[in-house]
Structure 1
Amino acid sequence: MNTASLLAVCRVHQLLPDPEGSVGVTAIDKRAVEGPVKVHKLGLHGDVQASRKDHGGEDQALYAYSQEDADFWSAELGRELPPGIFGENLRVAGIDATGAVIGERWKIGLDLEVEVTSPRVPCATFQRALGEPQWVKRFTTEGRVGTYLRVIKTGSISAGDHIHRLFVPKHGITVGQWFSEPTPEIVQALLDAEADGEIRLQDEYHSKFEKVLRRNGL
């Protein structure tokens, strides 16, 4: 069994012009930093989101992406994809961020505890920053989206820290399943888990639940 670990901690390097975006700049330029970084309820100390409408907040305090998925894309695109290039705060190894169960909890390093909340939805800003044509479509179709995390217990983290699963909900629905193939059965499983107090879903789930059910004539 592989030991899960934190390969890199990434925060904004600089705000880049993004005239086609909603606020004219983007904070997607994340790069690995050295040494310990404090994590508070809204994310990494020193990090920022340019557009607060679609990014950030306690339910999206951190974004984790797996090295295994980065390696897949590196082979597909024929280029190196260093930590932070996906806009991620945490590049992780030995743990499947996309395959994490919604509500799953991790301990990173000595203190930090986080909870898996939702998949990353790719946007046009992401495509422009990466410079790959049809990137949103490709990223969506492949479904290797990574996960957002809610901070349960603050702390400091550094590259090389171990990651331990503290809790995995019984419902078994992963962020990847919810992103790629939402079904009425998945909606019901998540609603049941929330009603039982097993997980706490962010508000956006409920509006999406309604869309899934309507699409299936329910």
Structure 2
Amino acid sequence: MPVVLSLNVARKTVPVGYARAGATGIGKRPVDGPLRISPVGAKGSAGSGVEGDSIADWTVHGGEHQAVYGYAREDLDRWQSELGVALDNGQFGENLTTQGVDHTNALVGEQWRIGTALLEVTGPRIPCRTFAEFLGQRGWVKRFTREARPGAYFRVLEAGLVGPGDEITVVHRPGHDVTVELVFRAITTEAALLPRLLAAGDAMPPDVIELVHKRTVVELDS
């Protein structure tokens, strides 16, 4: 049965020199919960959708289409084995550490009922310098990108309470083939895939749609 293994939050941001904002909320820790998960405003005007969770740089994190971040314990275990270091739940900055559900092959627009909340998959996490510095792994951005197991971001369709042990039920899968992995590869290493992302329609975040159109214009002009 797919479940939430842990619910993770950063109670406050931590000052660091390597983050663009001068602080980071990536160091999330498991909490007993349940906590309320709610819809939030646009990126730049709103942070996390998880009660009590702190985000330092709202310009690149948080907002409607990144209200909640999930990562599979199965993928954490693979990284733990490959890196030879212990990886605790929440160490990738995820709000939800899950078991028994596939983030990589989830479809944009797929809906998950967790606790009393309803979440919708919006796309992948893109790695950054802060992520690499926090883990202390040289070449981490390239390595994480190459593996293409990015975890999934969600927006909140229905507010509700979520806690450790809550069952995860996929209640809707769209008819297109735009997976989290496809979006990740299109944005990071395989730009030729970008036009395929439009098949996800309105479920695709506006900034990704804008990127697709910009790329198309550049190619037409070149």
| TM-score, structure 2 as length reference | 0.88
User: Cα distance, 1:14 vs. partner?
Assistant: 4.0
5+ long unaligned stretches in structure 1: none
* Residue in structure 1 matched with residue 98 of structure 2 by the alignment: 92
1:200 aligns with 2:206: no
Counterparts in 2 of 1:1-218, with a 5 A limit? 3-42=1-40, 43-109=49-115, 111-181=116-186, 182=190, 187-188=195-196, 190-194=197-201, 199-213=202-216
The letter for the 1-side match of 2:96 is: L
Pair 1:215–1:96, CA change in 2 (3 A): farther
Measured in 2, the distance between the counterparts of 1:96 and 1:215 equals 34
Say if 1:104 and 1:167, in contact at 8 Å, map to a contact too.
yes
Residues 145-188 of structure 1 deviation map (CA, whole Å, 9 limit, x = unaligned): 00100000000011011000011011021011111145656624
The letter for the 2-side match of 1:187 is: P
How many residues of Structure 1 are paired with residues of Structure 2 in the alignment?
210
Pair 1:80–1:171, CA change in 2 (3 A): same
Of stretches 24-33 and 5-14 in structure 1, the one that deviates more from structure 2 is 5-14
User: Cα distance, 1:216 vs. partner?
Assistant: 6.0
Superposition RMSD in Å: 1.9
Q: Per the alignment, in what secondary structure is the counterpart of residue 19 of structure 2?
A: coil
Measured in 2, the distance between the counterparts of 1:204 and 1:163 equals 28
User: Cα distance, 1:108 vs. partner?
Assistant: 0.3
The letter for the 1-side match of 2:129 is: A
* Residue in structure 1 matched with residue 43 of structure 2 by the alignment: none
Of stretches 204-213 and 124-133 in structure 1, the one that deviates more from structure 2 is 204-213
Measured in 2, the distance between the counterparts of 1:186 and 1:202 equals 13
The letter for the 2-side match of 1:213 is: T
User: Cα distance, 1:30 vs. partner?
Assistant: 0.2
| TM-score, structure 1 as length reference | 0.89
Q: Per the alignment, in what secondary structure is the counterpart of residue 93 of structure 2?
A: coil
Measured in 1, the distance between the counterparts of 2:35 and 2:114 equals 12
Say if 2:178 and 2:199, in contact at 8 Å, map to a contact too.
no
User: Cα distance, 1:39 vs. partner?
Assistant: 1.0
